[in-house]
Amino acid sequence: MSYWLKFIFFSFVLFLPLVGCQKKEGMAENAGSISPPPAASAPPMAPVGEAPPSPPSGESPHGSGAPVPFMQKLAEYKARLEKDPKDIEALVFMGNANYDIQRFEKAKEFYARALDVDPNNTHVRTDLASSYRSLGETDHALDELNKVLKSDPNHEVALYNAGIIYLNDKNDPEKATAAWEKLVQLKPNDPLSQELKKQIAELKQTAKKTK
């Protein structure tokens, strides 16, 4: 499975989902991933400043694959942060965990702290953009994605998510098309590219009709 298919998180207006970088299985470990849109009723929230209860699988979030129970890992990472507030792995884990239960404000805080430690981490910055978008702060989300693309113009998750935001939130199909065309060029044989090609063709056809 390709990296950008692996991390999906926002729901696309038509049929394509958005992804994240550190959100594994979403378009992030945080290409986040594409996670489904938020459920009608969110799971119980953890106390302020803490991460969520164990996901149904009982394992760590974002598909890490580790057999360690989630609550055990949560305790371990919390202890690591108490010992070292700049432990980036622990900060990202806590950001992912909070994002998974839709505590986007807390997720944003942890991702921002991680970026204070490693400002060049494009995966974390892409996840921060996901948190902003989930909070309805689409301008901030685009600002973060543009920072990623300035550093890495071929960042697949950032290109994909930028297209989602341009189309769904900014009503700018031209910029969405530009982002996705570049992504298709990077991954011409990826299964998701086939869907993007169809979407790009529809957007161009619609643009012709409106002229």
Say if residue 63 is exposed, middle or buried (CB neighbours under 10 Å; 0-12, 13-18, 19+).
middle
Rounded CA gap, 109 and 185, in Å?
Answer: 34
* pLDDT by position in tens, the chain (length 211): 333 333 333 434 333 445 665 543 233 333 333 232 333 222 232 323 333 333 434 444 444 454 578 889 999 999 999 999 999 999 999 999 999 999 999 999 999 999 999 999 999 999 999 999 999 999 999 999 999 999 999 999 999 999 999 999 999 999 999 999 999 999 999 998 999 999 999 999 888 888 7
Residue 17 is inside which H or E element, if any? strand 17-19
CB 30, CB 18: distance < 8 Å: no
Q: Which domains, ranges and CATH numbers included, belong to the chain?
A: 3-35+67-210 (1.25.40.10)
Task: Give pTM, 2 decimals.
Answer: 0.72
State whether residue 204 is helix, strand or coil: helix
Residue 11 is inside which H or E element, if any? strand 8-11
